[in-house]
Structure 1
Amino acid sequence: MLEATDLSVEFAGRGGRRARAVDGVNLSVGAGEIVALVGESGCGKTTLARTLLGLERPTSGRITYDGTPLSYTGRALKAFRRQVQLVLQDPMGSLNPRQTVYEAVAEGPRIHRLPSRNTAAVAGSEVAAAPVDEEALVASALSRAGLRPPERFFHRFPHQLSGGQRQRVVIAGALALDPKVLIADEPVASLDASVRGEILSLLLRLRDDLGLSALVVTHDLGLAWNIADRVAVMYLGRIVESGPTEDVLTDPQHPYTQALLSVLPESPQRIVLTGEPPDPTRIPTGCRFHPRCQLVAQGNGAPACSTQPLPILPAGASPQVACHMAGVDQTAVSSSGS
């Protein structure tokens, strides 16, 4: 449904240098599939999501939707965004505090000029072929988002709702346009733990009932385990490991993925990475993770880790990893080194 091919996004940095926020990414989201894009803050996840939505122009590479390259003309982008909708992290920031729930959900169909029965009566034959009852459309979207009975919420304002209800209103606003793909940027990060499961269950139900595809951007691998069919792990602008969720999270091959998984409560060993993510204007030579890699720090890395660049991973469903040490028996390496 949605695919990025050799995608790169650069921004102007200090001293005339260019910051490579996204640096050669291949990523696909299939029909009815949920893909989790995971990584720590600053790795480029949100920039990639914004670029997939057409909110940022790629420096190079391309985005295709349903096999057609994305065009950046106003009309083409408007048609594209009706099919690909965004769910943001902070529902209170996404909603206008002066708009009722009804107005918030109806805003998308009005912007995209979905014909209502009222406008059909005025405009005559131009839109009379497929009139839409706006009130029924809003009620249906709220119901699908789990706010029932929907009429009870029509005249409420965001401050009168709980955090979970506000996030459902944001999701309903996206559903009102009947999209094919949702891009959810940290959709439960601002919610209480008791509400997170409800929103995740809602996303799964929407996938099953409506056939929606979704790209879920998160730093929480536990969330990815519960919701995603595939996982793509991003570090410093590039996908470093990807594959089916069970393969990646039960047998991670990249040291970065292993470190991310080690913070989960059931992890037997905590891996603490040293330092901060490198400056995207100064990408390290060789493997871009090697300055913080626990294997290199322990003396178990290969000479190529700091000198030889790794190939860009292609988009695909099979397990893939960009690491010089992937598949190497670390016990044997440690023994030979000692």
Structure 2
Amino acid sequence: MLEATDLHVEFSGRGGRRARAVDGVNLAIGAGEIVALVGESGCGKTTLARTLLGLERPTAGQIVYDGTPLSYSGRALKAFRRQVQLVLQDPMGSLNPRHTVHEAVAEGPRIHNLPDEESVVSSALSRAGLRPPERFLHRYPHELSGGQRQRVVIAGALALDPKVLIADEPVASLDASVRGEILSLILRLRDDLGLSALVVTHDLGLAWNIADRVAVMYLGRIVESGPTEAILTNPQHPYTQALLSVLPDSPQRIILTGEPPDPTQIPTGCRFHPRCQLIPTTPDTTACTSKPLPILPTTTHPQVACHLATS
């Protein structure tokens, strides 16, 4: 349904240097498939999501939706955004406190001139689990719980009958008791409506519960991807292993030193080598520090970009 091919996104950095926020990404989301994009803050996940939505223009590469390359003309983007909708992580920040639930959900249908607004809004609220919708239409965001506010945001996306949802940390701001409900809702929407979804998250536990495939991103590039069970039960990349080690049932905690490097100064060789926990115990790290790794292609099979994992 939605595919990024050799995608690069750069921004102007300090001293005239270019920050490579997305530095060569191939990623596809199939019909009815949920893909989790996982990584630390600052690894490029949100920039990639914004580019997939057409909110950022790639420096190189292209976005393809349903077999057609994305055009950046106003009319084409408007049509595209009816098919691909965004769900933000902070519903209190994304909902206008002066607008009722009806006004919030009706905003998209009004922009796209959809007929029968009342029916569209009520149907979207019902599909998002706010039933009966009449109870919520005239409420304001501050009168709702966190889970209800997130359902309103999801209803606003569903009002346009999209084919793909891009959810950026959709449960990060919610209590643990509500997280499962929102994840179950996304799964139910996939099953009932055939929706595809890209779920952007730093939480591999969330990916385990919801995703068909996982793509692990580090410093602008996908370093490991494949079916969720294969990646999370047998991670090959040391970065994926470190992310998994923080889960409660992990036998050993792996502590990464430092922060992800500055995207204006990406390390030579493997971009993860300055923080890699395997480097101190590896006799020869010449390849890790000097030999570039290939960009991972689009495939549903497990794959990893790591000299030590593939040696």
Q: What TM bracket, shorter-length normalisation?
A: over 0.9
Q: Name the structure 1 match of 2:14.
A: 14
- Residues 301, 325 of structure 1: 8 Å contact kept: no
Matched, 1:23 2:23: yes
Query: What is the rounded CA distance, in whole Å, between the counterparts of 1:192 and 1:218 in structure 2?
Result: 16
3-state DSSP class of the match of 2:71?
A: coil
Query: What is the rounded CA distance, in whole Å, between the counterparts of 1:198 and 1:97 in structure 2?
Result: 24
3-state DSSP class of the match of 2:309?
A: coil
Query: What is the rounded CA distance, in whole Å, between the counterparts of 2:294 and 2:283 in structure 1?
Result: 21
After TM superposition, the structure 1 = structure 2 runs for residues 117-128 of structure 1, keeping only pairs within 5 Å, are none
Q: Deviations over 1:198-217 (max 9, x none)?
A: 00000000000000000000
> Unpaired runs of 5+ in structure 1?
117-132, 329-338
CA drift of 1:136 comes to 1.2
Q: Name the structure 1 match of 2:304.
A: 321
Q: Name the structure 1 match of 2:147.
A: 164
Runs of 4+ off more than 6 Å = none
Query: What is the rounded CA distance, in whole Å, between the counterparts of 1:228 and 1:47 in structure 2?
Result: 20
Query: What is the rounded CA distance, in whole Å, between the counterparts of 1:299 and 1:58 in structure 2?
Result: 37
3-state DSSP class of the match of 2:105?
A: helix
Q: Name the structure 1 match of 2:217.
A: 234
CA drift of 1:134 comes to 1.3
Amino acid at match of 2:162: P
Amino acid at match of 1:65: Y
CA drift of 1:275 comes to 1.1
Flag the structure with larger Rg: 1
Amino acid at match of 1:196: R
- Residues 295, 301 of structure 1: 8 Å contact kept: no
Amino acid at match of 1:172: A
3-state DSSP class of the match of 1:93?
A: helix
CA shift in 2, pair 1:136/1:23, >3 Å:
same
CA drift of 1:301 comes to 5.7
Q: Name the structure 1 match of 2:164.
A: 181
Q: Name the structure 2 match of 1:39.
A: 39
Amino acid at match of 1:289: F
After TM superposition, the structure 1 = structure 2 runs for residues 1-338 of structure 1, keeping only pairs within 5 Å, are 1-114=1-114, 116=115, 133-299=116-282, 302-327=285-310
CA drift of 1:273 comes to 0.4
CA drift of 1:9 comes to 0.2
Amino acid at match of 1:272: I
3-state DSSP class of the match of 1:41?
A: coil
Query: What is the rounded CA distance, in whole Å, between the counterparts of 1:105 and 1:297 in structure 2?
Result: 53
Query: What is the rounded CA distance, in whole Å, between the counterparts of 1:205 and 1:3 in structure 2?
Result: 23
CA drift of 1:270 comes to 0.3
Amino acid at match of 2:60: S
Query: What is the rounded CA distance, in whole Å, between the counterparts of 2:72 and 2:152 in structure 1?
Result: 29
Amino acid at match of 2:259: E
Amino acid at match of 1:36: A
Q: Tell me the matched-pair count.
A: 311
Q: Deviations over 1:233-279 (max 9, x none)?
A: 00000000000000000000000000000000100000000111101
CA drift of 1:299 comes to 3.4
Query: What is the rounded CA distance, in whole Å, between the counterparts of 1:306 and 1:73 in structure 2?
Result: 42
> Unpaired runs of 5+ in structure 2?
none
Q: Deviations over 1:53-91 (max 9, x none)?
A: 000010000000000000000000000000000000100
